[in-house]
Amino acid sequence: MKNKDYLLFARDTRAIVYGMQENAVQRMLDFDYLCRRERPSVAAIVNPTRGGWHQCFFGRGEILIPLYRTLKQTVEKHPDADVLVNFSSFRSAYPTTMEALETDTLRTIAVIAEGVPEKYSKELAILAKKKNKWVIGPATVGGIAAGAFRIGNTAGALDNIIESNLYRPGHVAYVSKSGGLSNEMNSILALNTDGVFEGIAIGGDRYPGSTFIDHLLRYEANPEIKMMVLLGEVGGTNEYEVVEALKTGKITKPLVAWCIGTCSKVFPAEVQFGHAGARAGHDRETADAKNRALREAGAIVPRSFEDFDQKIRVTFDRLVAEGKVIPAPEVVPPLIPQDYPEASKAGRVRRSAHFICTISDDRGEEPTYGGVQISEVIEKALSIGDVISILWFRKLLPKWATNFIELIIRLSADHGPAVSGAHNAIVASRAGKDLISSWASGLLTIGPRFGGAIDDAARFFKKACDSGQSPEAFVEEMKQRGITIPGIGHRIKSLDNPDKRVELLKNYSYQNFPRRKYLDFALEVEKVTTQKRNTLILNVDGCIGVTFLDLLNACGVFSPQEIEEMVEIGYLNATFALGRSIGLIGHIFDQKRLNAGLYRHPWDDILYLEERAEKI
């Protein structure tokens, strides 16, 4: 090998990840930061379903990694990336890897998928050799170059990586079949040598894209690697290529080797050990036979796996004693911030809430309203008024009070198409706006001249009544201040033509409320104002405002301070807004049916609207 062809991964290696594997990408970036790389190893992600950007962490900060729909587009945008980490499924792993092998800029492809047909695996291996490229896998966890580059999820959790000293290079390289056992190799080498330089898991399939000998010859050519380790297994004959290389002198560096699965001989019949290739078809493929052949060819082979670490330690210590290895100095890796969900689950962090909610909670098995589970709301047949009282006031009010809330909503649901809210909703709907836009257009008109007088009426009447002011003095004061009394006056209704809604609210109050302090005061004020003009009556906004004050006082569950806060915040207008929403949505549906021509005589409704507008 020349021009450092033996080196697949370095500290500046850049990779493309095929498939939206967010966790694997983050683990690669965490390893980069642990190794103090200047640039992230992940250049881009191929995500066939969407393009854009993927937000992730690089150490303490956040970065954006570009997403592309096709591999062709990705390699054109990122020609510096020469590794593809292919997370395609076993169905699409073959065509995506073939496309990668035909791409000039990609040199190494790690195929993670299991179950790739053997025919396809052979084709991938042949094409890779022909083009002087590398395929790691299929059915691999990948590989790792300590202090430089990590393929996907190789080496497991960060704690394991730190304990195995993989954040800086050692002088030992290994190749294994199993990805799981490669984690064991990282740990063994960290305990018995100065650590890993590079480790590759070629995958457990019978016909991997690259074999033991392919990687061992790379290690042989790399002057930074001083000894090698091979961890094979029962099944297949790839180990015999290593035997031949030892015999012919192609491998001269110390090689500690072991093939697991020697226990297979105690079984009465042929046994497969997990991997597709971990099955001995004849004696030559047994672990015992391969271990024997490796030992005879000059490899350092222990008596059992239990002695494996000892052979590695003795071999490494000998190299150090001979001056062939100067152990790598230890460095302190940077601290990787723990992701908040993991830290929170482990009870290691706490933080203030971004917002606070005291009326509902969806963190349990079922949501709750004011501590009442949804199932209980249904089982107890709580009414709309009950639910409103829980969510608005955080208390379940008496039945007479919640029934009154529902009465307000029913009475304020609609007041014809000519009032400002309905008119705006109709215009927006006729203009083709969607439901929410049309509804918001109408709802935004609620204010002092349309529905909003409820809050103002409650404020002014409450202040006057609580201060002991007489109705006459209240009217005179408002006149002197130049303020129209909120909740007093109507365009059409009068003493002679009363508003039926006001009558219904008053009747309910007299029949059900324990006390009616504010309503009585407002009616006395009405007697004063109607002396001037008989249309200056207590209107529906004013009646809702004062009766709701009576409701809050008569319930016996609110303190004077709580009532004062609710009036100042604007609780009372909510009843009008909720009720009027029902009517507004009805008008919107009505107009959408008109737009669609679903009425026999649609212009009748529009004429009615025009006539009402002229009257007003």
Q: Which residues are catalytic?
A: 275
| Secondary element (H or E) of residue 309 | helix 308-321
What is the distance of C-alpha 33 from the center of its chain? 23
Q: Are 22 and 144 in contact (CB under 8 A)?
A: no
The candidate with the shortest Cα–Cα distance to 85, out of 12, 33, 130, 140, is 140
The candidate with the shortest Cα–Cα distance to 487, out of 546, 414, 561, 410, is 546
Quote the CA–CA distance of 177 and 277 in Å, as a whole number: 9
Is the backbone peptide bond immediately before 327 cis, with ω within 30 degrees of 0?
A: no
Question: What letter represents residue 63's amino acid?
Answer: I
The candidate with the shortest Cα–Cα distance to 421, out of 188, 578, 533, is 578
The DSSP 8-state label assigned to residue 266 in this structure reads G
Q: Are 250 and 220 in contact (CB under 8 A)?
A: yes
Quote the CA–CA distance of 417 and 576 in Å, as a whole number: 16
The candidate with the shortest Cα–Cα distance to 260, out of 202, 203, 304, is 304
The candidate with the shortest Cα–Cα distance to 366, out of 358, 377, 356, is 377
Length of the chain, please? 616
Question: What letter represents residue 351's amino acid?
Answer: R
Which pairs count as long-range contacts for 299-303, CB under 8 Å and 24+ apart, including other chains? Answer: 299/230, 299/242, 299/243, 299/246, 299/255, 299/256, 299/257, 300/254, 300/255, 300/256, 300/257, 301/256, 301/257, 301/258, 302/256, 302/258
Strand, helix or coil for residue 209: coil
The candidate with the shortest Cα–Cα distance to 462, out of 446, 486, 483, 481, is 486
Quote the CA–CA distance of 573 and 541 in Å, as a whole number: 9
Q: How many CB atoms lie within 10 A of CB 286?
A: 19
Here the tokens at position 413 are 């649901």
Which positions ≥6 away from 276 have C-beta within 8 Å? 139, 204, 205, 206
Q: For residue 345, count CB atoms less than 10 angstroms from its CB and return exposed for 0-12, middle for 13-18, buried for 19 or more.
A: exposed
The candidate with the shortest Cα–Cα distance to 549, out of 514, 517, 501, 504, is 517
Which positions ≥6 away from 504 have C-beta within 8 Å? 407, 411
Quote the CA–CA distance of 444 and 428 in Å, as a whole number: 12
Beta strand 372-373 pairing with 360-361: unpaired
